[in-house]
Amino acid sequence: MNITMIEAAAARLAGQARITPLLNAPLLDAAYGKQVFVKAECLQVTGSFKFRGAWSAVSALPAGTRGVLAYSSGNHGQGVALAAARHGLDCVVVMPSDAPQVKIANTQAYGAKVVLYDRATEDRDALGAALCAQHGLVLIKPFDDRQVIAGQGSVGLEIAAQARAAGIDAADVLVCCGGGGLSAGIALALEAQAPGLRLRTVEPVGFDDMARSLAAGQRLRNLATTGSVCDAILTPSPGELTFPVLQRLAGPGITVTDDQALQAMVLAFAHLRLVLEPGGAVALAAALFAETKDPVICVASGGNADPALFRDALARFG
Amino acid sequence: MNITMIEAAAARLAGQARITPLLNAPLLDAAYGKQVFVKAECLQVTGSFKFRGAWSAVSALPAGTRGVLAYSSGNHGQGVALAAARHGLDCVVVMPSDAPQVKIANTQAYGAKVVLYDRATEDRDALGAALCAQHGLVLIKPFDDRQVIAGQGSVGLEIAAQARAAGIDAADVLVCCGGGGLSAGIALALEAQAPGLRLRTVEPVGFDDMARSLAAGQRLRNLATTGSVCDAILTPSPGELTFPVLQRLAGPGITVTDDQALQAMVLAFAHLRLVLEPGGAVALAAALFAETKDPVICVASGGNADPALFRDALARFG
């Protein structure tokens, strides 16, 4: 991946993805003693940045491609489903049978065929490979794919331009991190277009595989795969493609607690009037509760929040 | 008021107010069978369109003005407070003593002095007039002020440009309506710049003074002053300045129930990842639940939602 691929992806995204706003709340700045800018990717089509990478990958497929397949319990699946539908391609999304009903319904509403599997007894990869072979589908990986990373990098191009317009030439850029596709794409874009902006990954405590990997200089795995409310970013380990990029370009990783993520959701509700999901709120949590440069830019990466969880967060921190 | 005043206000607002996005959600369109575009003024500075009119009025004051005063239990007061602070002016906001604590605290945090009064026993107008005389303050009215209306009209300039960019040349534009300042400003802007867009006011059932006044051809009052969750738009009657504008330019007014407003809040949560307050959600409610032209544009005018009320709405409609 390089800046040329990112710019090409951004050109393909024009008119499909939104240029999301970079928001700021004076009262939040005053309360936390630093300037905090929020890149509102929760306002992206399908409610998360994932549509960018999905569109980038799908739009780069060779002519004659029949259809695509994605594994996802949430945001990546919805992004791929809508991108495929707008390209007139078949789309199958393999989802765990215990995925939230609303995410299954939304993925179907975007036009995808949802195939459910049992996490305990079935092998997702084998099931997906069989479906790809049988129906002539191309697998769109969630982060370890060059075109996906290039598409997510378009967020970084926008941050570079928006920071420049706001007069910011040095800042930390905090990014919610699962496998590192969004982080790697943004880091590459900033390297080329805003070298004073330093990317730092943010993860939940106990699922800080990227932070530990960056510190160790090698890819390490999380000990657990479940147990945080930040479901969207609980990836087992950094990606093969994403890790070397972040090793070269990212500052030290930051971790936040689940409660800090939930509190950040409530602060976004009150001060930014944005709906964030927990995994999309960890970067804002780090901006407010961790030591960072001032000013700090954080990416609010997704807003597909469960209503019951959102209610509980408001009850506890509202 | 005229388009020249609106354009002058918009020029003064540049760099202070946000150009808010015009959003659309494919799944919402599919579910309700029409194209719905949402002008997200809840993302405006201070959480509502009110900052535009406040800034327009404050920035038009003569040099040497000492300070300003506003009556408000909510959004207008916060807009005036921030506009005054950025102009280095004193600001007093007269608020009822039973106003939500968070709105009092926020108004103070923007730098205003808050003077509380007892709704049952004190005369707000007399109190405000005495304070203006005593401290040399200028009253900034919430809607019946030419510069306030001109500032709100900047929303209409943006809608005209954004609709054009989206290829929309004929649509209904639904606006949450209290005294009619936002509606009148938008109507004047659309008349000049997008004559195929027809403004329609939206109010809660039982507080439809504007709809009834437009139908009757004269200003009528609401029978009640409280009793709807849409607190931000429960104005007793149309404004003296706003009504003639809307009589000339607006289509028939629409009314929605409180429950429809709450349901629209929840749909905005799920499909747009926006936080709306009930009074800021009535236009979206009308877009979804009333008969309108297709496509329809609605202004989501404010997002300063009470957390407890938001929780209840999610519990009932989420």
Contact status of B299 with chain A (Cβ, < 8 Å): no
Say if residue B222 is in the same domain as residue B238. yes
ipTM of the complex: 0.96
Q: Is A167 left (phi over 0), alpha (psi -120 to 50) or beta?
A: left
When the pLDDT of each residue in chain B is averaged and rounded to a whole number, the result is 96
Whether B73 shows a pLDDT value over 80: the answer reads no
Contact status of B275 with chain A (Cβ, < 8 Å): yes
Measure CB to CB from residue B274 to each of A26, A102, A273 and give the nearest one: A273
User: B79 CA to chain A: closest CA distance, Å?
Assistant: 12
Please tell me the predicted confidence (pLDDT) of residue B301: 98
> Which residue, B72, B66, B119, is CA-closest to B94?
B72
Which chain A positions have a beta carbon within 8 Å of B305's beta carbon? 269, 273
Please tell me the predicted confidence (pLDDT) of residue A280: 97
> Where does a domain end: A101, A122, A139?
A139
- Under the banding of pLDDT at 50, 70 and 90, the label for residue B261 is very high
8 A C-beta contact, residue A96 and residue A116? yes
Contact status of B308 with chain A (Cβ, < 8 Å): yes
The CATH number given to whatever domain includes residue B181 is 3.40.50.1100
Say if residue A163 is in the same domain as residue A253. yes
Say if residue B231 is in the same domain as residue B169. yes
Please tell me the predicted confidence (pLDDT) of residue A75: 93
- Give the pLDDT confidence of B114-143 residue by residue, as tens digits: 999 998 888 888 999 999 999 999 999 999
> Where does a domain end: B139, B155, B179?
B139
Say if residue B205 is in the same domain as residue B116. no
User: A137 CA to chain B: closest CA distance, Å?
Assistant: 25
Contact status of A266 with chain B (Cβ, < 8 Å): yes
User: A130 CA to chain B: closest CA distance, Å?
Assistant: 30
Residues of chain A with pLDDT under 70: none
> Where does a domain end: B139, B173, B201?
B139
From CA B28, how far away is CA B36, in angstroms rounded? 8
Phi then psi dihedrals of residue B195, to 5 deg: -65, -15
Please tell me the predicted confidence (pLDDT) of residue A116: 95
Measure CB to CB from residue B314 to each of A43, A106, A311 and give the nearest one: A311
- Give the pLDDT confidence of B93-119 residue by residue, as tens digits: 999 888 878 889 999 999 999 999 998
Subunit contact B110:A26, Cβ cutoff 8 A: yes
From CA B137, how far away is CA A27, in angstroms rounded? 25
Say if residue B32 is in the same domain as residue B104. no
User: A31 CA to chain B: closest CA distance, Å?
Assistant: 9
Say if residue A171 is in the same domain as residue A126. no
Say if residue A27 is in the same domain as residue A73. no
Question: Model-level pTM?
Answer: 0.97
The pair of three-digit structure tokens given for residue A279, joined into one six-digit string: 């995994």
The pair of three-digit structure tokens given for residue A203, joined into one six-digit string: 């993860």
8 A C-beta contact, residue B305 and residue B275? yes
Bridge-based pairing state of the strands B171-176 and B137-139: unpaired
> Which residue, A262, A256, A209, A253, is CA-closest to A234?
A209
Subunit contact B311:A314, Cβ cutoff 8 A: yes
Question: E-strand spans in B49-155?
Answer: 67-71, 90-96, 113-117, 137-139
Please tell me the predicted confidence (pLDDT) of residue A237: 95
Q: Select from A273, A275, A299, A316 the residue whose CB has the most chain B CBs within 10 Å, as the one to mutate to test that interface.
A: A273
Query: Length of chain B, please?
Result: 318
Say if residue A193 is in the same domain as residue A305. yes
Question: E-strand spans in chain B?
Answer: 22-24, 36-40, 67-71, 90-96, 113-117, 137-139, 171-176, 197-204, 254-256, 296-300
Which chain A positions have a beta carbon within 8 Å of B314's beta carbon? 307-308, 310-311
Contact status of A232 with chain B (Cβ, < 8 Å): no
Measuring CA to CA, how many Å separate A51 from each of A76, A78, A84, A85, A273? 7, 8, 10, 12, 22
Say if residue A242 is in the same domain as residue A163. yes
Phi then psi dihedrals of residue A224, to 5 deg: -115, 160
Measuring CA to CA, how many Å separate B249 from each of A66, B161, B187, B204, B222? 51, 19, 6, 21, 22
Domain total of chain B? 2
* Domain boundaries, position A135: 51-139
Say if residue A90 is in the same domain as residue A105. yes
Subunit contact A311:B308, Cβ cutoff 8 A: no
SS3 B5: helix
Please tell me the predicted confidence (pLDDT) of residue A73: 76
Selected residues 86-145 of chain A with any CB under 8 Å from a CB in chain B: 102, 106, 109-110
Measure CB to CB from residue B273 to each of A27, A30, A42 and give the nearest one: A42
Contact status of B266 with chain A (Cβ, < 8 Å): yes
User: A178 CA to chain B: closest CA distance, Å?
Assistant: 21
Please tell me the predicted confidence (pLDDT) of residue A226: 85
